[in-house]
Amino acid sequence: MTKRWWSAVAAVITLAAAARLLLSTVADPDLWGHIRFGQRTLSGGLERIDPFSYLSGPHDWINHELLSEVVFAIVFDAAGGVGLIALKSLIGLLVVGLIYRHLIGRGSDPLRAGLLLLPTMLLLVPGLATVRPQMFTFLFFTLVVLVLHRVEDGHEASLWWVPPILAIWINFHGGVLAGAGVLGLWGMARVVAAAREPTIRAFLTRIRFPLGVGILCALATLANPYGVGLPEFLLRTATVPRPDIVDWQPLSVRSAPGLVYLALTGLASWTLLRAPGRLSAPLLTVLVVLVVLPLTAVRHLQLFAIGVPVLIADAFAVAWRRETPPREAGAPERLVVVGTTVLAAGILLITGLRDARCIEIDPVRSIGFPARAVTWLADSGVEGDVATFFDWGQYALWHLGPEIRVSMDGRRETVYSDSVYAEYLRFQNGVGSWRDLLARDETDMVLFPKGYPGYNLTALDPEWLQVYDDSIAGVFVRAGRPQLATLQTVPHPELPADGAGLCVPVERRNR
């Protein structure tokens, strides 16, 4: 096979495998809100006061994923859930394609480049199994790391691309802090390296351009509707512990993703040992930090998976260079290779498209949602305020809001104060003054999953009457509230209690 044939075969198989992994999509707890908020922004402009919760208070709603939600709304309104799957998959393929092209451009042969990308694809899958704004962070982070690699290769003018990337990124997702952090680490390492210059003038000359671009990058983060308030908010919320959020837990190296992380870390280490001197000190600094970050929070695992193959590209090409070039293939052999490649790629894509028919509620791979209970509340036409489970809040506000307002949802710090969130956790876990949420006069109803202390304690409280029950959830109404009489007459819809198998999002029922 010639180099051209190897390139074509490896590229087709690599991208087909990536598409197969990326197309399968399950419902994320925050997807409902992302689409609804984006739709409202398109129709009425930026909302600074939240209309969906009765505990969000009068303070400004800082929507740090504003443009992501606008894009989601546009795609959903045009093509539904299938369109969102296509958007997510295309962004994932673009990330994989950019890294693959980078590896080939730095001297790796197509087959080895594809093999190096395999752990990256496996680690990207958990982050792209749902439709979330973080997909844009994966893309922008890839671009920033590629730019830094190019700058270290002598193309300093490429650094001009970073400020506009950050200006766009900060309006899509809070992961812009990762890009700014990587840029800052790289810049500090450059300053340290420049300190070896024999004169102050030489030192200043060497750091002048990167320092100027760094100032522009800081100014670029102010290009958002909230000004300095948004970067301040992101810095504040990124530096507080979140022991109750899975994404913020340290990576377990005994898990399947942990084993892939160890394998990729080991391969990178061995590659650098086999090809010493192929990675500059600033990029090595970035690489070490990317390796450590997943051990502090699993949400950094995808950034590690993106950054490692980009940063070790030169060393990888040297350390694992093919000893002998592929031989020329005859026509029969080329026919077999092409046929096998097309067949394999076709199987991968067809099986992937089968899983891309809709965004599915899958209680096994993700979580279940109270489809029957929420549809029952929507059918009743009642209004009021309902105490909700954190992961069900945006599902409820999509179907019920703003006529029925929720107590809590996944936006957390963007609309809720620390005291309100602490109050919710006390109720959920049945600890301390757990009844504070129920004692609020605004709370008319409770929609909560079984198995939590908050559910069990509400069921024992004589002030609260249970009007709905299924295998995963219950609905309670405060005695004497007008919703009680109406809800007692509404029949239950024929839907799975946990929504299993339903394609979502669905259009909200008219209320």
Please state the domain extents for the chain.
3-319, 371-504
**pLDDT score recorded for residue 191:** 86
**pLDDT score recorded for residue 193:** 83
**pLDDT score recorded for residue 504:** 78
Segments of the chain with pLDDT less than 50: 1, 337
* Coil/strand/helix, residue 473: strand
Contacts of 443 (CB under 8 A, 6+ apart): 54, 385, 386, 387, 407, 437, 478
CA–centroid distance for 436 within its chain: 33
**pLDDT score recorded for residue 24:** 84
Strand 384-388, strand 404-406: pairing: parallel
User: In whole angstroms, how far apart are CA 500 and each of 246, 250, 256, 332, 371?
Assistant: 22, 30, 25, 49, 9
CA–centroid distance for 404 within its chain: 28
Task: Give me 481's structure tokens.
Answer: 């509230």
The type of residue at 92 is G
Are the C-beta atoms of residues 131 and 184 closer than 8 Å to each other?
Answer: no
Torsion angle, alpha carbons of 333, 338, 341, 342, to 10: -150
**pLDDT score recorded for residue 464:** 97
Single pTM value for the model:
0.90
**pLDDT score recorded for residue 169:** 97
Point out which residues pair with 448 in neighbouring strands. Answer: 474
Task: Give me 328's structure tokens.
Answer: 């020329």
